[in-house]
Amino acid sequence: MESLYDLSLAELEVRIVEMGAPAYRARQVREWAYKRFAASYDEMTNVPAALRARLAAELPFPTMDVVTELASDDGLTRKRLIRLGDGKLIETVLMLYDPRSDSRRRATVCVSSQAGCAMGCVFCATGQAGFERNLTAGEIVAQVVGFAREQAETGGRPLTNVVFMGMGEPLANYRAVWRAVATLNAPDGLGVAARHITISTVGHVPGIRKLAAERLQVGLAVSLHAPDEALRERLIPTAHRYPLPEIIAACREYVEKTGRRVTFEYCLMDGVNDSPEQARALAALLDGVLCHVNLIPVNPTPDGRIGRPPRSRTLAFQRELSSRGVACTVRVEKGVEISAACGQLRGERVVVR
């Protein structure tokens, strides 16, 4: 069943008119949903009771039951394990940045776009668990609204950024993801600036090209994790679908059409992809691409076969890239102690159905 969060303003106006109410009621409902973060229609006191009852029956709020929530030691990262209406489990993370080191006072929500993931990355807990289904646009939006509501209720800072870096491959669920982006960005929605929304992909070439043609200039992050095809296919079993040359060509097209740089995510694994030679190969692969490389020491997964490199080796890899003109940083780690990496918390739960 469709939920309130699945519809645009125009679509909601049509539905409300069909219910016999004036179109302006749609704006009132959206105001309650996205500005006041109402958790039910009962809170919408300036909307007639009869209309509220019909909306609740035909366009309910998505079922998003928080199974567990963990907070990092510094209180700046919180991760939720959420059970959807059909029992599927997803994860959502809120990341606050220390205002002493972050003048923008960012508050970022990392959302899932699928329950599970079909990409099969060997270093990712979600990839090891398999794919279950795509999320709806409403289920994606609801993840953000849930944290926005909590921040508002507790006097916390407003949300500033949304990243599609949780469970799933966003560009394999393009229609729902883009509808969610539209609601997140809309002035009558959550009002998140397009440039503060980032979509991450493992290298879904058709999706990258579609994204390059969109009106909203959201950010693009591409997970590489290897500088050559053979190693990449070892780490990402589905990588053969879109070879590295095709991915890089699509990224060049994205840069040309949008004028925005691409972020390349590179998960560093001890003794696997972190040598100076591999850093030089990565720099050669990205030569001439307007980009930034985000180096991410790998998070542990249950099988324990892949470990993170020593800090010295991570910094040596960074220096090698920088010396060849590639802009790069080592990601600030947040929430390792609460299994904040994608799929970890879900994998630790025993699910009772």
| Positions marked active-site | 91, 342
Say what the pLDDT of residue 16 is: 98
228 pLDDT higher than 90: yes
Domain ranges within the chain, ordered by starting residue: 4-58, 64-348
Say what the pLDDT of residue 272 is: 94
Most confident of 5-19, 115-129, 236-250: 5-19
**What's the fold here for domain 64-348?**
TIM Barrel (3.20.20)
- The bridge status of strand 161-164 relative to strand 107-110 is parallel
Residue 304: band (very low, low, confident or very high) from pLDDT cuts 50, 70, 90: low
Among candidates 161, 157, 177, which has minimal Cα distance to 169?
A: 177
- Please indicate whether residue 10 or residue 335 has the higher confidence score (pLDDT): 10
SS3 content of the chain, % helix, strand, coil (to 5): 40, 20, 40
Angle at 312 between CA 307 and CA 313, to 5 degrees: 55
% of residues, the chain, pLDDT over 90: 81
What are the backbone angles phi and psi of residue 350, rounded to the nearest 5°? -95, 115
Over residues 252-264, the mean pLDDT reads 96
Say what the pLDDT of residue 80 is: 97
Say what the pLDDT of residue 351 is: 35
Measured CA distances, 239 to 201, 224, 295 (Å): 12, 10, 20
Say what the pLDDT of residue 121 is: 81
Class of domain 4-58: mainly alpha
Q: Tens digits of per-residue pLDDT, 182-195?
A: 999 999 999 999 99
Say what the pLDDT of residue 128 is: 64
Q: What does the alpha-carbon distance between residue 296 and residue 103 come to, in Å, rounded to a whole number?
A: 23
123 pLDDT higher than 70: yes
- Please indicate whether residue 120 or residue 346 has the higher confidence score (pLDDT): 120
Q: What does the alpha-carbon distance between residue 22 and residue 16 come to, in Å, rounded to a whole number?
A: 7
174 SS3 class: helix
% of residues, the chain, pLDDT over 70: 91
- Please indicate whether residue 64 or residue 352 has the higher confidence score (pLDDT): 64
Measured CA distances, 31 to 25, 146, 191, 302 (Å): 10, 15, 12, 43
Say what the pLDDT of residue 339 is: 54
Residue 97: band (very low, low, confident or very high) from pLDDT cuts 50, 70, 90: confident
Q: Are 135 and 90 in contact (CB under 8 A)?
A: yes
Half-sphere exposure of 203 (CA within 13 A, CB side): 26
Q: Tens digits of per-residue pLDDT, 195-225?
A: 999 999 999 999 999 999 999 989 999 999 9
298 pLDDT higher than 60: yes
Among candidates 22, 93, 172, 147, which has minimal Cα distance to 334?
A: 93
127 pLDDT higher than 90: no
Q: Tens digits of per-residue pLDDT, 36-72?
A: 999 999 999 999 999 999 999 999 999 999 999 999 9
Say what the pLDDT of residue 350 is: 35
